[in-house]
Amino acid sequence: MKQLKVILGKRTYPINIGSRIIQKDNIFFPLKSGNQAMLVTNKTLANLFKDKILFYLRKAGIKIDQIIISDGEQHKTLNEMELVISALLEKQHTRDTTLIALGGGVIGDLTGFVASVYQRGVSFIQIPTTLLAQVDASIGGKTSVNHLLGKNMIGSFWQPSSVIIDIDFLTTLPRNQLVSGIAEVIKYAIIFDKEFFYWLEDNIEKILSLDHNSVSYCIKKCCEFKSKLVSSDERENNLRSLLNLGHTYGHAIEAHAGYGSWLHGEAISVGMVMAARTSKKLGYLKESDFIRIVNLLKRSFLPITGPKNMSASSYIPYMMRDKKVIAGDIRLVLPLSIGKVKVYSNIDKNVILTAIKDSQ
């Protein structure tokens, strides 16, 4: 097992990465024998993993309750959140309880948001089961639910007490979910590390086939990037905003298509192509780097074109509601080269619209 830490003073927490680590002693830190906890998962994951997780929690002496919520991005809502809060109240969970999120980004985001508001804040533990959640969503304390008019518009910053990344969960992951997670991996490489991007070019087939060493290296690398950024910029006032590469466009696709129609990573893949194309049109990104980015996404079986039934102009209202917008000005994270990105504002909307049209 490898351990990283997100350094946030008294709120510092560990990220444990390994195989079969769920059965290790004290893995559910900071929970101790006699503590109260609530496991939150969805119907699909309950059938696969719930009994195993409950077994090890009870073995550790944890007083554990459970709630199974609906599966899918379309259920990341205030209504579903209220079901979790009702279960906590019905089971008489107090301020010293701990929520345990067993699932992908939807479960992690929703459970974390409940933890941030239940009785004005309780602890929660992330047990991410998808590649996307393991490399990105489970780390950093961004919690939220969706609104019909925009993705992740209702939420808070609330850090977990620990993150438990068991690579074995990925063996049951549907192929499209695995591919979706690779989009976030490629995102990290484009933003921070051209050598990691080159490594992905050489090893993408191994990751897709779940080669243990390749997947372990990949997850650890992304967690290192994320933990350092969160430690230095917890509330996204500066460098952490770079992680939104492709997200302004991608969130527009998710909201317009209807949550769950496109997987998050699929939408972000197209968003990164649109961001790269915008940068190329502005004269920042070289054609050769643009081609490498698109080719790696294609080799990962990720989409590189937007929905055919979504016009370029229909992206703009969603993009104007993006959380990075300041004083009515769209701010975009654009790649300057592989391994280097920058936030830009005052971009000509015609350039943005043309980049979107050329990516459809």
Active site residues: 120, 142, 184, 226, 236, 240, 244, 247, 251, 264
Cβ neighbours of residue 141 closer than 8 Å, sequence gap 6 or more: 112, 157, 158, 159, 160, 230, 234
Token reading at 191: 């933003």
Helix/strand/coil percentages in the chain, nearest 5: 50, 20, 30
**H or E element, residue 141:** none
Strand partners, 165: 17
Annotated binding-site residue? 109: yes
Task: Evaluate whether 103 touches 45 at the Cβ level (below 8 Å).
Answer: yes
- Nearest Cα neighbor of 139 from 12, 316, 9, 295 is 12
To which residue do tokens 């229909």 refer? 314
Q: How many residues does the chain have?
A: 360
Annotated binding-site residue? 71: yes
Annotated binding-site residue? 72: yes
Annotated binding-site residue? 106: yes
Question: If you ran DSSP here, which 8-state letter would residue 358 be given?
Answer: T
**H or E element, residue 16:** strand 13-18
Annotated binding-site residue? 75: yes
Annotated binding-site residue? 151: yes
Annotated binding-site residue? 206: no
**Rounded Cα distance, 360 and 355, in Å:** 9
To which residue do tokens 């979706």 refer? 180
Annotated binding-site residue? 73: yes
Annotated binding-site residue? 192: no
Annotated binding-site residue? 254: no
Strand partners, 67: 40
Strand partners, 6: 13
Annotated binding-site residue? 330: no
Annotated binding-site residue? 143: no
Annotated binding-site residue? 281: no
Question: If you ran DSSP here, which 8-state letter would residue 34 be given?
Answer: T
Strand partners, 64: 37
Annotated binding-site residue? 134: no
Annotated binding-site residue? 212: no
**Rounded Cα distance, 125 and 164, in Å:** 8
Annotated binding-site residue? 105: yes
Q: Which residues are annotated as a binding site?
A: 71-76, 105-109, 129-130, 142, 151, 169-172, 184, 247, 264
Q: Which residues are annotated as a binding site for NAD(+)?
A: 71-76, 105-109, 129-130, 142, 151, 169-172
Q: Which residues are annotated as a binding site for Zn(2+)?
A: 184, 247, 264
